[in-house]
Amino acid sequence: MGGRLSSRVRAEPLTVREGPAVGNRRQESPNLILRRVRRLEPMGEFELRERDGLARIGRFPTPHGAVETPALLPVVHPDPARQPIPPSEIRRRFGLAAVITSAYITWRTPPLREIAESRGIHALLDFDGPVMTDSGAFQQHAYGQVEVSDAAIFSFQRRIGSDIATVLDVFTEPDAPQEVALRAIEETSLRAKQARSLHKGLLAVPVQGGLHAPLRFRSASEASEIGDVLAVGGVVPLMEQYRFADLARVLIAVRPGLSPGAAVHLFGTGHPMTFAFAALFGVDLFDSAAYLKFARRGALMFPDGTVPLQDVREAICRCALCEAVPLTEVARMSDEDRVVRVAEHNLLQCAQEVSLVRQAIRDATLWELAERRAASHPALQVGLRTAVRGVRTFLPTEPESRRSFRVVGPTSGLRPSVIRFLAQVERWKEGRGPYRDHPRVPLTPGGIGRTPTETRSGASLLWETQTAIGRVPLELTEIYPVGCYLGLEEFESRADRAESVASADGLDADLDRDYSKRWAERQLRATFEWVHGREGANEVLSRGLVGERSTRTGRLRGVVREGNRLFTIGNDGLPRPTWLGAELVHAARAFPAQRIIADSDAVPFVEEGRSLFSRFVKGGDSSLIPGSSALVVDESDRLLAVGRLVLAPPEMGRIPRAVAVRVVAHRRRPDGEPDPEAGGPESPVGPDGRDL
C-alpha cells in the first residue's frame, strides 16, 4: 500500500501529577497528562476532521481512495446477475464511494472465485472504489456454519485485493450464555492476531460478546490492539427484532474499549432511521443489504420509517427518482423493474440521510437529529432513552458548549450536556447558600437591576430560579445549556414572569435601589469560577477586569482592562481569551492549569497561528474537554497561542491525524475569537432580551 500506510500510534498509560480533589472540574490543580508514544506495526490512519461528541467526520485512506466518514457501505452481491443496481452506479448516481461484498460467497462460487483470483475483486464487481469484504460471519449466523476455515478465507481476501479484509469471527448470538460468548471472543481474538501477523493492509476485526458488557468491553479492547476497522458484530438480530435498547447497551459497553484512532463499523445498520442513533456512539461506517431486502418485499424506506408500496396513493416522496416515475406507477411495474426502482429509492434515502448526519455533526446538532428520528418508532425511543442512561459513555468527549440547545423530545433534558451542567452546578454551590427563589429574568440591567444582592444590614442575598432543566443560581443562567435554551417554555405565556422580586415578604432590603453594577460583578465572578474554579478565578479577577455589556441585548459580552478586551463572551456565556487574556491567565494560573503542551517540533508553527496536531501534544491539563479554551505552551511553559480543544485530553496522541487544539489567537493575531457584536447576521432575540 506504499505511501498510504503509516504507523499506528498508541499511548502508553498516563503519568499523572495529582492535585487536591476540589473545584468545579474535578481538581483545582489539574492533572498533567504525559504520554510516551511507541510505534506499532504499519496500519492505516483515521483522520478526524470535525466532531460532535463521539460522532465525527473523518477520512479513512484505502488503496482505492479515501472513505469519507460517516459512510454507508451498501452490501453488493458478487454475482452481477443478482445485484440489480451495479456497484459502479451506486458510486456514480448515489455518491456512495465504497461498498462491501461477501468474500465467502465469492469463494464458494467457482465462476466468481476464478474471476476474483485472476483479475481481483474490483474487476469482478466492476467497481474502482474501496471494497470491504466480509468473511462469512453472516452466513454463519444464518446457516449455523461455513464451509471454510478462517485462515483460508482470510488468505482468499488478500489474494483478491480486498481494501479492507475482515477476520472470520465466531458469531455470537445476542442471548448466548456467557461461557459461549467468552469462548467465541477468545477464538476471534486468536484469529485476529494470526491475521495481523500475515497482513499489513487494512484489517477489520469484529467485536463480539453477546449482551455481556464485560465481554464486549474486553473484545473491543483486544480488537483495538490489532484492527484498523473495529467492527461491532452480533447485532443484526437485535435490529431485526427492534431491540434498540439492547443495541444501546452493546454500544455503551464497547465504546470505552474502542480505540479513538480506528474507524468504527456497525454491521447491519441499514435503515436510515438508525444512522443518527448509531453515529451518537461514534460509529463511522454503516453497512447493510436492507435497501434491497426491503425492495424485494415492496417496502419503501424513509428516515422516519417504512411504507408499503402497495399502500401509496399520494406523491409522498419528491426525490428525483419519484419525480421522474411516481410511486403509484412504480407499483404497477413488473416485479423485476419494481424491485430495482424501489431499491434505488431506498438507496437514495439512505445516502441522503448519511449526508444529513454529516451536516448535523458539523452543526453540532446530532442529538437533535437523533431525537427526531427516534420519534419515528417507540422501540427507537426506548433505545435512545437507554443511551442517555449510559451518560458516562458520552461525557469524556461531550463538548463544553454548542451554539444552541433546542428541545426536541422527552430525552432532550437528559442529554449529556444537561447532566454535566447540573452536576457542575451542585459542585459550584458547595459552601454557598441559602438560596431564595426568584422568577426567571434576563441578566440585564433592566431585568435584574431591582433584585437586591444584599440586605440593609449588608448580608449577602443569593437567588436561584427554576429553569426548564432544573434549579440554577441566577448568575449562572446565561451559561450553556441554560443561556441558549430553546424549548416550549420560551413560547408559553410570559404574563406570570416578573421583572423583579415578586414578593418581598420578610426581606429587609432596599427594593428601590439599582443593583445592576453588583449583579455585573457577581455574574463576572460566577462565570470565571465556572471555568477556573474559585482559587483560579481569584487569581484572574485580581487583575482589575471589568465586564462589558452588549449595547443591543444588555448581556455580558466581553471583559476588558484599561480599554483592552481580554475576553469575549458568546452565546454560551463562557469567557474566551484573546491573546491579552491568554497572557493574563498564563500569569495568574499555575502550570499546568488551562494548558496543552506542544512538542518542540510544532512550536514554530503554533506561534504562527497553525493548529496543534494530536501527534505533537506532550501533555496538559486533564480537566479540559472538547471546546474548552486552552493555552498552548512549550515544554518550558512559554505561551505560544490560545485555542479551543477539538480532542479530549485522553484522545491526544491516540488519533495522530487530528487537530488537538484549533488556534484562535497568537502574538501576531491577538484579537482572538470574533466579537459577537461585530458583523454577521443578527441573532434572533426573545422578548426578554435573551438570544434565541
* DSSP E strands, 581-638: 595-598, 612-613, 617-621, 629-633
Whether omega before 481 lies within 30 degrees of 0, making that bond cis, reads yes
Eight-class DSSP state of 436: E
The whole-angstrom separation of Cα 675 and Cα 566 is 11
Q: Which helix (H) or strand (E) holds 106?
A: helix 103-108
The answer to whether 202 touches 194, Cβ cutoff 8 Å, is no
Q: What is the DSSP letter of 499?
A: S
What does the alpha-carbon distance between residue 567 and residue 272 come to, in Å, rounded to a whole number? 43
144: left (phi over 0), alpha (psi -120 to 50) or beta: left
Q: Are 124 and 116 in contact (CB under 8 A)?
A: yes
Identify the three-state secondary structure at position 114: helix
Torsion sign across C-alpha atoms 383, 389, 395, 400 = positive
Rounded-to-integer distance, Cα 598 and Cα 584, Å: 20
Under a CB-based contact definition with an 8 Å cutoff, are residues 233 and 137 in contact?
yes
Give yes or no for a contact between 176 and 215, defined as CB atoms under 8 angstroms apart. no
Which residue among 52, 134, 228, 246 is the active-site one? 134
Q: Can you read off the three cell numbers belonging to residue 33? A: 497528562
E-state strands within 563-645: 564-569, 575-577, 595-598, 612-613, 617-621, 629-633, 639-645
Q: How close are the terminal C-alpha atoms of the chain, in Å?
A: 51
Distance CA 106, CA 78 (A): 6
In the annotation, is 691 catalytic? no
Question: Residue type for 141, please?
Answer: H
Three-class SS of residue 474?
Answer: helix
- Separation of alpha carbons 273 and 279, rounded Å: 11
Among 97, 101, 100, 89, residue whose Cα is nearest residue 66:
97
7: phi then psi, degrees, rounded to nearest 5: -80, 140
Is the distance from CB of 519 to CB of 453 less than 8 angstroms? yes
State the DSSP string of 270-301. Answer: -SGGGHHHHHHTT--EEEESHHHHHHHTTEEE
Sign of the dihedral defined by the CA atoms of residues 18, 30, 390, 361, in that order: negative
Please give the backbone phi and psi of residue 467, each rounded to the nearest 5 degrees, phi first: -100, 175
What's 214's DSSP letter? Answer: H
What is the 3 state secondary structure string of 67-111? EEECEEEEEECCCHHHCCCCHHHHHHHHCCCCEEEEHHHHHHCHH
| Residue 321 CB contacts under 8 Å (≥ 6 apart), including other chains | 341, 344, 345, 348
H or E element, residue 447: helix 445-448
Cβ-based neighbour number of residue 264 at 10 Å: 29
Q: Report the relative pairing of strands 595-598 and 629-633 from DSSP bridges.
A: parallel
Instruction: Find residue 471's DSSP bridge partners.
Output: 466
Neighbours of 638 (CB within 10 A): 11
CA-based torsion, 476, 480, 481, 484: positive or negative = positive
* Cα 404 to Cα 485: distance, rounded to the nearest angstrom: 6
* Active centre residues (catalytic): 134
